Amino acid sequence: MTVLWAIGRLLRPWLDRLYLLCGYIAAGALVIILILVTLQMMARWTGEIFPGSTDYAGYFMAASTFFAFAYCLNSGGHIRVNILLNALGKRRRWLDVWCLVIASGLAAFWAYHAVKAVYWSHKLNDVSQGLDATPMWIPQMAMAIGSIIFALSLIDHLIRTVFLSAHTIRQQAIGEITE
């Protein structure tokens, strides 16, 4: 038990930085979507063609979504039924554990298949159907990496909930601005 605590103590700053980095990547992807949409609007106004801009905006939307999952979970941004959880009192921990076990399993399952999709897209030289003809494994890579980190964050919270005997997802008040 002390070995697990020591390992967790060493990994905690790195995992928190990883989750924060994912939040920054998600925010950066949203900024890129803004730039792409603005450039697409300017191209239409000037009569130019910006091929693939819609596809690229979609790829960055997927990247922003999947990279935001782990950061959002770690910062308490995911929807949880806190009224029910608080009403349970001492049994809250077991419901948290049960929910985290199911969520970790589903996220690991999703991450496995996301990685598998990247592998097969690369192996089959699958390209997008748009004008850009982007190899599909490139945008799928963001989904796979984000899924893996989200599964890791759920497993991290599960381990902390089981061994620290407390829920570890930060609570936020309505309207509070995250770090």
CA separation for the pair 152, 134 (Å, rounded): 29
State the average pLDDT for the chain: 85
Q: Which helix (H) or strand (E) holds 121?
A: helix 92-123
Tokens 């928190």, residue?
Answer: 16
Q: Which pair of structure tokens corresponds to residue 143?
A: 């989904």
Q: Is the pLDDT of residue 171 over 60?
A: no
Of residues 141 and 176, the one with the higher pLDDT is 141
Q: Is the pLDDT of residue 173 over 50?
A: no
**What are the pLDDT digits (tens) for 54-74?**
888 988 999 999 999 999 888
Task: Report pLDDT for 74.
Answer: 84
Sign of the dihedral through C-alpha 171, 176, 177, 179: negative
| Count of positions (residues) in the chain | 179
**What are the pLDDT digits (tens) for 80-119?**
666 676 777 777 778 888 888 999 999 999 999 999 999 9
SS3 108: helix
The pTM (predicted TM-score) of the whole model is 0.82
Write out the DSSP string of 145-160.
HHHHHHHHHHHHHHHH
Q: Is the pLDDT of residue 176 over 50?
A: no
Instruction: Count the helix, strand and coil residues of the chain and give each as a percent rounded to the nearest 5.
Output: 75, 0, 25
Q: Where are the domains of the chain?
A: 2-164
* CA-to-CA dists, residue 14 to 8, 110, 118, angstroms: 10, 24, 26
Q: Is the pLDDT of residue 4 over 60?
A: yes
CA separation for the pair 23, 90 (Å, rounded): 32
Q: What is the mean pLDDT of residues 29-46?
A: 94
CA separation for the pair 117, 164 (Å, rounded): 36
Give 2's pLDDT tier (boundaries 50, 70, 90): low
